[in-house]
């Protein structure tokens, strides 16, 4: 009997992970003492609504603004991006940072 | 002279949409829900209590495709990457804009599907042609030999 190759790893749903990322971002912002409006100003956003969209778990921090977002929240950009990757693309994060040679 | 102070017509944000607003927004996104550009919608709010409406992509990702927010008296339409697509104090106009953005997305999906279909069909035809050609060649080679035996 032919064996089926399983390509899909069992990972939590993308929606749930985005929500966790949002909660983490909200905690970081609170620790940095910033409101959503103040963070949006630091990110040069016209409206602060995108910050809420991301923190509510419906959107992602775009790759191109991860550095600014991380710095605004008082985090080193690569550590910030790595943590976000664990939520946004857990399989890539596992391959890059968890699988040993 | 007495100066009367008028209260500005700004609603205090309480994080909720009025039913008329939701109806207008849902009407504008309904075609997208049937065409694959959207998979569903949810509502939320900012920390200040400004309401937000999220049109979500189909499962499994279900991330925000379009977001409509009411900030004071202004309605803001953003995409899932935070790019402001439209802003206006008329929700009807904004909903019209959202519909047009979604129509473009649907057209892109249809074009992509058509391209995939054409590629698959062409590949299939090429493979089939090769197999048929081989069979014909084999037949042309074998038939005279069989005829000689008969």
Judge whether A48 lies within some domain.
Answer: yes
Interface contact B46-A13, CB threshold 8 A: no
pLDDT digits (tens, 9 = 90+) for B8-54: 555 567 779 999 999 999 999 998 888 777 889 999 999 999 999 99
Note whether residue A9 is domain-resident: no
Out of B60, B62, B82, whose CB is closest to A45? B82
Contacts of A49 in chain B (CB under 8 A): 46, 50, 52, 67, 69, 71, 76, 78
The whole-number pLDDT of residue A55 equals 98
Looking at residue B1, its pLDDT comes to: 62
B44, A35: Cβ pair inside 8 Å? Answer: no
Confidence of residue A67 (pLDDT cuts 50, 70, 90): very high
Residue A70 lies in a domain: yes
Name residue B77's beta-bridge partners: B68, B86
Say what the pTM is: 0.75
C-alpha dihedral, B121 to B123 to B125 to B131, nearest 10° = -150
Residue A81 lies in a domain: yes
- What pLDDT digit, counting tens, does each position of B42-95 carry? 999 999 999 999 999 998 889 999 999 999 999 999 999 999 999 999 999 999
Q: Is the pLDDT of residue B7 over 80?
A: no
CATH code, domain with A41:
1.10.260.40
Q: Do A59 and B46 touch (CB under 8 A)?
A: no
CA quadruple B72, B74, B77, B83: dihedral positive or negative?
negative
Q: Number of structural domains, chain A?
A: 1
Residue A57 domain-assigned? Answer: yes
Q: How many CA atoms lie within 13 A of B24 on its CB side?
A: 16
Q: Between residues B97 and B124, which one has the greater pLDDT?
A: B97
User: CA of B4 to nearest chain A CA: how many angstroms apart?
Assistant: 32
Q: Which residue of B has its CA nearest to A65?
A: B81
- Closest partner residue to B47 (CB to CB) among A13, A52, A58 is A52
Collect all residues of chain B within an 8 Å Cβ-Cβ radius of residue A15: 61-63
**Range of the structural domain that residue A92 is part of:** 14-98
Task: Give the relative orientation of helices B19-35 and B91-149 as an angle to the nearest 10 degrees.
Answer: 10
Is A8 within a domain? no
- The structure tokens 């200040």 sit at B48
Q: Is the pLDDT of residue A10 over 70?
A: no
Q: Looking at residue A68, what is its pLDDT?
A: 97
Of B42, B3, B114, B96, nearest to A52 by C-alpha is B42
Q: In this model, does residue A35 exceed pLDDT 60?
A: yes
Any domain includes A1: no
B110-129 residues touching A, CB cutoff 8 A: none
Beta strands in chain B (DSSP E): 40-45, 51-56, 64-71, 74-79, 84-88
Q: What is the pLDDT of residue A83?
A: 97
By CA distance, what is A43's nearest residue in B?
A: B82
Residues shown for chain B: 150
Please determine, for residue B5, whether its predicted confidence score (pLDDT) is greater than 70: no
Confirm whether A92 is domain-assigned: yes
**Two structure tokens written together for B33:** 């829900």
Per CB-CB distance under 8 Å, the chain A contacts of B84 are: 46-47
Q: Does B72 sit behind a cis peptide bond, omega within 30 degrees of 0 on the bond before it?
A: no
CB-count burial class (<10 Å; 0-12, 13-18, 19+) for B49: exposed
B 17-76 → A contacts, CB under 8 A: 42, 44-48, 50, 52, 54, 56, 60-64, 67, 69, 71, 76
């Amino acid at each position: 009997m032919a064996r089926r190759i399983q390509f899909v790893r069992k990972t939590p749903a993308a929606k749930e992970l985005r929500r966790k990322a949002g909660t983490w971002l909200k905690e970081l912002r609170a620790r940095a003492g910033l409101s959503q409006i103040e963070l949006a100003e630091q990110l040069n956003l016209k409206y602060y609504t995108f910050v809420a969209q991301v923190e509510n778990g419906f959107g992602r921090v775009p790759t191109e603004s991860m550095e600014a977002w991380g710095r605004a929240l008082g985090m080193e950009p690569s550590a910030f991006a790595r943590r976000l990757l664990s939520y946004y693309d857990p399989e890539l994060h596992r391959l890059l940072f968890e699988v040993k040679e | 002279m007495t100066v009367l102070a008028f209260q500005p017509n700004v609603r205090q944000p309480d994080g909720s949409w009025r039913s008329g607003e939701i109806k207008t927004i849902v009407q504008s996104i309904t075609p997208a829900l049937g065409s694959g550009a959207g998979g569903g919608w949810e509502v939320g709010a900012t920390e200040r209590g400004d309401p937000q409406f999220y049109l979500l992509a189909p499962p499994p990702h279900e991330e925000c495709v379009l977001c409509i927010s009411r900030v004071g008296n202004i309605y803001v339409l953003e995409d899932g990457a935070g790019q402001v697509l439209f802003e206006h104090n008329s929700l009807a106009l904004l909903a019209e804009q959202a519909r047009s953005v979604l129509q473009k997305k649907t057209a892109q999906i249809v074009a992509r599907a058509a391209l995939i279909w054409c590629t698959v069909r062409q590949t299939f035809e090429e493979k089939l042609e090769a197999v048929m050609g081989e069979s014909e060649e084999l037949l042309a080679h074998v038939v005279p030999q069989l005829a000689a035996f008969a």
